[in-house]
Structure 1
Amino acid sequence: MTDSANPIQIQKFLEGVDYPAEKGALVARAKQEGADSNVLRSLEAIPDRSYAKPTEVSQAISEVGNHPERAGAGDAGVEDDDDERGGDRFDAG
């Protein structure tokens, strides 16, 4: 997520949230507070669960930002594609 907002910017739009809070409530508050599309995208990318405190939200945003393949359809990424090739290695050089 190259255009994602940083967690500190996002927290400005979450002032007044009563924790624990569900992801949907966080997104709704940010919209209500006039958050821009980067902030909303960042919040929409975090896992759909309850967050006990603002630092948990910030941690989730950082993790999604560091691993964009986790956003969206889940963890469907390929960790090690050697298995798909039967372990055979190929040297093009």
Structure 2
Amino acid sequence: MEKEILKILKQHQNQYVSGQEICEELHVSRMTISTCIKKIKEKGYHIISSTKKGYCLTEDNDVIFIENIKPLIPDFFKILSILMKLIQQMII
């Protein structure tokens, strides 16, 4: 459930999403949303909760989004491979 809520908040990052909208989209109670938001905050996500506005995931999170890293992994290994070849040439 936390992943689904994070996905919704990430889609609307820096914008408020009402708890009711999240409830309707995920077909769960507001208490469930509130409990999950608390757990998400404990993991280091900065979520602002505001009465009558809802929840807002800010950009200044202490958590690295894996979706942002995955596309970079192949490039990292390509660069690492090139560097290893250069080092081997320098040693020989």
TM-score by shorter chain over 0.5? no
Structure with max Cα Rg? 2
- TM-score of the superposition, structure 1-length normalised? 0.29
* Structure with the higher fraction of residues in helix conformation: 2
- TM-score of the superposition, structure 2-length normalised? 0.29
* Structure with the higher fraction of residues in strand conformation: 2
